[in-house]
Amino acid sequence: MKSSIPLARRGTTIASQAGLGERLFASSEERGFAQKIDDGLALVEVGLLREVAFGDDLADVTGRYLLEAGGKRVRPMLALLTAQLGDGNTEQVIEAAQVTEITHLASLYHDDVMDEADVRRGVPSAQNVWGNSVAILTGDLLFARASQLVARLGERAIRLQADTFERLVLGQLHETLGPRIDQDPIEHYIGVLADKTGSLIAAAAQMGVIFSNAPAAYELPVVTFGEKIGVAFQLIDDVIDLSPRPEQTGKVPGTDLRAGIATLPLLYLRRDAVHDQEAAALLARIEREVLPHDAPPAHTAEADAHLAEAVADLREHEVTRVTLAEARRWADDAVTALDPLPDGPVKKALTRFAESVVDRTK
Ligand code: FPP
Ligand code: MG
């Protein structure tokens, strides 16, 4: 489902989604703060469209494809929020916010190829439309654009971007390889989430502090917040993969499960299957009927029915409730990391942001 909201006006919608509306910010000072975030997001959107335009006709279409399909703009929003600890929406803050979103966008093109995802942001995934090679190269082109943009921000930003890129790739690599024989699968998995998602969210929050000239003492709290909220965000994603409402999530239910990707509910099921017969029976059925074996996942009516049943059973199982509780714990720890920040609208908004991450349904 393509969003019908013009990009430049999306700022307001995204900010209100994150709970930055009038109900939260009752005083006029706080409403002024929410307006600054909206204004910043609108600037980011205009710049994003400009930054992903290409002279090549095909790249111009494929590059803007997922940007225009939607997205929550979580990373730009965090950069803008933490920037209010300093000089606010400086030109560099807006550019840094764009860097984080374009980097994220680039990674989605690659991720959907690796995950063989059919749908992204409610539209067919890029490789479903143009094939694997074009999707991968579009991700590369977007990463090139993010690199050009970050170069304008100077050495500190280049270094941060390079370190973050390495963690994104290592997170994805470790996810692909799975845990080593001597590694606890759940610990390994949380490490993967911190690398593939926490790192870029943390970098966005850090860039907001750096490029608004806010006190350096605020960097560590917002980086820790970003890392932890990134893990919480991905754990909720695991639950969203089991959602019965694809029209709400913009994703096909059970995409991760069908591709054999470890998610926390599945890892808990494996752990519990050792001592719990019911968990063992469900796991055996999922392994037999859903998880890919040698061949790529089948799309027959029988395979689809097995997947739908497994998704429903896993959703109702205790392991999904425990995953939700774990996501809440990571979000609570993220908020605790903000203790050194001054009380005020930034801390309040980040706290509300953490709540909206665990409450999200898409
Ligand atoms: C989505 O995870 C994937 C990521 C958050 C990061 C993927 C990282 C890379 C592909 C490497 C970096 C590459 C570039 C070009 C920057 P998910 O599959 O769990 O989430 P989903 O359900 O949204 O697909
Ligand atoms: Mg994926």
* Segment 185-194, tens digit of pLDDT: 999 999 999 9
In tens, the pLDDT along 110-141 reads 999 998 888 899 899 999 999 999 999 999 99
Considering only CA atoms, which of 10, 175, 191, 208 is closest in space to residue 100?
A: 208
The Å distance, Cα 109 to ligand 2 centre, comes to 9
Q: Find the ligand nearest to 262 CA.
A: 1
Overall pTM surpassing 0.85 (yes/no): yes
Residues with CB under 5 A from ligand 2 (ion): 111, 115
Q: Which ligand is nearest to the CA of 201?
A: 1
The residue nearest atom 22 of ligand 1, judged by CA position, is 237
Three-class DSSP labels, 51-65? HCCCCCHHHHHHHHH
pLDDT exceeds 60 at position 20: no
If one compares 291 and 169, the residue with the highest pLDDT of the two is 169
pLDDT for residue 1 is more than 60: no
> CB of 10 within 8 A of CB of 41?
yes
Closest atom, ligand 1, to C-alpha of 175: 19
Q: Which residues pair with 120 in a beta bridge?
A: 123
Domains of the chain: 26-213 (1.10.600.10), 215-341+357-362 (1.10.600.10)
- DSSP 8-state code for residue 121: T
CA-146 nearest atom, ligand 1? 16
* pLDDT of amino acid 223: 98
Which atom number of ligand 1 is nearest to the Cα of residue 103?
16
pLDDT at 10: 45
Q: Which atom of ligand 1 is nearest to the CA of 112?
A: 24
Average pLDDT score over residue span 27-31: 76
Q: Give the per-residue pLDDT at 6.
A: 43
Predicted pLDDT of residue 295: 67
Q: How far is 278 from 280, CA to CA, in rounded Å?
A: 5
Q: Which pLDDT score is estimated for 261?
A: 82
Residues within a 6 A CB radius of ligand 1: 103, 106-107, 110-111, 115, 117, 139, 143, 165, 168-169, 172, 196-197, 237
Percent of the chain exceeding pLDDT 70 equals 91
pLDDT tens digit string along 67-93? 999 998 999 999 999 999 999 999 999
Hey, CA dihedral for 193, 197, 201, 207, is it positive or negative?
positive
The more confident residue out of 200 and 9 is: 200
